[in-house]
Amino acid sequence: MASSKRMALGLAWVVLAAGCGGDPAAERSDPDSPLAKAERSLQAELEAAVDRLGMASEPGERVGPTRCDDGARHDVTSGYRVRLKLGGDDTAKLLETAADFWRARGRDVRVVSRSGAFPAVFATADPGWTFALQLFPERREAMLSGGTPCLPDPEA
Amino acid sequence: MSGSGPRAAPGWVRRLWRAPAPRATLVGMLRHQRGQVTAEYVGMLLLVALIVGALVVAGPAQKIAGEAVRAVCQIAGGACTGAPAPPVDREAVARAAADLEGLLAGDPDPTAVAAFFRGLEPAVAEALAHERPELVGNLDGAPIPLRYTANAEAIDDEIARLRAAGVPDSDSRLRKLIELDDPDRRFLLFDPAGDGRAAEVFGDLTSARHVAVVVPGMNNDLNNFTGGDAERVHHQASQFDPDQVATIQWLGYDTPEGASALSSSDAKPGAEALPQFVAGIRAQRAERLHWTVVGHSYGSLVTGMAESGQGLEVDETVLIGSPGVGVNSADELGDGNVWVGLARFDPVGYSEWHGLNPHSRAFDATRFHTGDISGHSSYFNEGSESLRNIGLIAAGYLDEVNVNDGLF
């Protein structure tokens, strides 16, 4: 049931996006480009993290490429975000679950602000992958996000 | 400023946390109301489509239909075209244009520009933005929505000009302009001359309590402009203070390429333009706002020169991957807090091409963690500790920033 709702929400979002502009860059991207492959890999890892955390989520959102300043003129990094619903979850346990998930994948992991207003876990991997789970307890929300390494922009 | 931590956050920054409830939008409703079932969503979409369709078919209701289409598009976060323009006094528009040209001849400051627009009828001002975008779009002190309108017109005009000149759509400049010609994108600056300049806004600059300007470094021009760094800062900072942050990707200077980055000559025009740009927004936002400037790489030199030599004053200065800022101490960068981030293996951040490394202890800024990112180009990476700390600073959550006393 939850997955069908998620699919319906995703479908509605796609319909709206298609009707009111959408993301032309995403539509034009070469699916075989290194950037497109990296985006798929990033999305898969974050979706796997969603499953591992077992939290209700909204459809993921691609974050369009931005320039890697001072890199090659047309190198870019893309991102991906998933908003999660923070119920009565034990935030310390969520942080540990996320940290364990990324450690098991060989990522370097840092947990920050355990007792602060916005606890978070960050993970990195060469040559420039970034992943994070950030908690916003007052809003009862969390965000999983990540970024790709700098790669040639297939649109350039 | 002590290197052990930021200055105490002003009381008003802490009070800013009391944010109003997020605005309800159609997209937001679809995303947030998880108790709905699929049929309800489909039904709602069909109902909206039927209402709009019926209004369009009914001739006498054409005006209402136009407004309905625009309203639906706005709440859906998308394009809105075809709305009928209100009637406007043509002579008044011509007079306003002539008066504005006269004002500009005297090189007015932004407050004088703001006062001029306050004296115009709204319909006349709107018509002026549509008809004379070259006067209004980049005019510091002009009303923010009018600048958006004017620069959208200017982008359209430039696309039309290039096409009329036989430039193919595959041309890199034209392709970029077509990408920027999006009703969801808003520009406070658009200038296609030479390498081009642009300033793109994320969030509601007319109501945000926090405003952050991102100043990029070398090898940036209109052809590779994305606005993505500011978009990421906006999204991250908005997690901490929803609906209260606006950010601007400010490509307001001709950035250096290659070895010319070793000279500060390209930074000087930027350092002169940046305070004027900020003053233009302040002229439209009389209330006290929380201001941040984020300078990356050569953009940190522009920021440093603007603050040390051109009188730019902001609450938070964030320097990342900096080759030096033209001065050797945080104290020379005005009265606000100075924050510095440096990633591992960032060759530019250690170069000291333009003065003492601001990440050094002697510079006496507050150093924040960039996490485990490395190199010169990852400070704004989605999901990075660097981006989170920049977002916390931009949102005024200074006590939550992960500062460090050592490297990284």
**Count of domains for chain A:** 1
B70-119, pLDDT tens digit by residue?
Answer: 444 444 444 444 455 568 899 999 999 999 999 999 999 999 999 999 99
CATH, range B186-400: 3.40.50.1820
Q: Least CA distance to B34: which residue of chain A?
A: A5
Identify which has the larger pLDDT, B85 or A4: B85
Q: How much is the pLDDT for B8?
A: 41
Query: Quick check: helix, strand or coil at residue B165?
Result: coil
Q: How confident is the model at residue B68 (pLDDT cuts 50, 70, 90)?
A: very low
Q: State the burial class of residue A67 (Cβ atoms within 10 Å of its Cβ: 0-12, 13-18, 19+).
A: buried
Please state, in angstroms and rounded to a whole number, the distance separating the CA atoms of residues A32 and A48: 22
Identify which has the larger pLDDT, A6 or A103: A103
Domain of A33? 29-152
Mean pLDDT of B161-180: 97
Q: How far is A20 from chain B (nearest CA, A)?
A: 4
CA nearest B110: which of B315, B281, B293? B281
> What ipTM score was computed for the predicted complex, to two decimals?
0.83
Q: How confident is the model at residue B22 (pLDDT cuts 50, 70, 90)?
A: very low
Q: How much is the pLDDT for B151?
A: 98
Please state, in angstroms and rounded to a whole number, the distance separating the CA atoms of residues A110 and A114: 11
CA B270 to chain CA mean position, Å? 16
A104-141, pLDDT tens digit by residue?
Answer: 999 999 999 999 999 999 999 988 999 999 999 999 99
Strands B316-320 and B290-296 turn out to be parallel
Q: How much is the pLDDT for B44?
A: 53
In a domain, A50, yes or no: yes
Matching residue, tokens 């958006």: B148
Range name among B80-94, B236-250, B375-389 with the lowest pLDDT average = B80-94
Q: How confident is the model at residue B61 (pLDDT cuts 50, 70, 90)?
A: very low
Chain A residues in contact with B184 by the CB 8 A cut-off are 21
**Which segments within B60-178 are labelled E, that is strand?**
none
Q: How much is the pLDDT for A153?
A: 87
Matching residue, tokens 């980055």: B261
In a domain, A14, yes or no: no
Residue type, B122: P
CA B366-A149-B346 angle, 5° bins: 40
Percent of chain B at pLDDT exceeding 70: 78
In a domain, A39, yes or no: yes
Query: Which of A5, A73, A124 is the closest to B219 by Cβ?
Result: A73
Mean pLDDT of A72-86: 90
CA B164-B169-B174 angle, 5° bins: 80
Mean pLDDT of B13-20: 31
Q: How far is B330 from chain A (nearest CA, A)?
A: 24
Query: Quick check: helix, strand or coil at residue A125?
Result: strand
Percent of chain B at pLDDT exceeding 90: 73
Please state, in angstroms and rounded to a whole number, the distance separating the CA atoms of residues B58 and B175: 39
| Mean pLDDT estimate for chain B | 85
Please state, in angstroms and rounded to a whole number, the distance separating the CA atoms of residues B59 and B49: 17
Chain A residues in contact with B229 by the CB 8 A cut-off are 66-67, 69
Tokens of A62: 């691609």
> Are B297 and A65 a contacting pair at CB < 8 A?
no
CA dist list (Å): B124 to B24, B56, B114, B140: 32, 28, 15, 19
Please say if the pLDDT value at position A149 is more than 90. Answer: yes
CATH code of the domain covering residue A142: 3.30.2030.30
Please say if the pLDDT value at position B6 is more than 70. Answer: no
CA dist list (Å): B287 to B88, B122, B329: 31, 22, 30
**How far from each other are the two terminal CA atoms of chain B, in whole angstroms?**
19
Q: How much is the pLDDT for A26?
A: 47
For chain B, the domains span 28-75, 90-178, 186-400
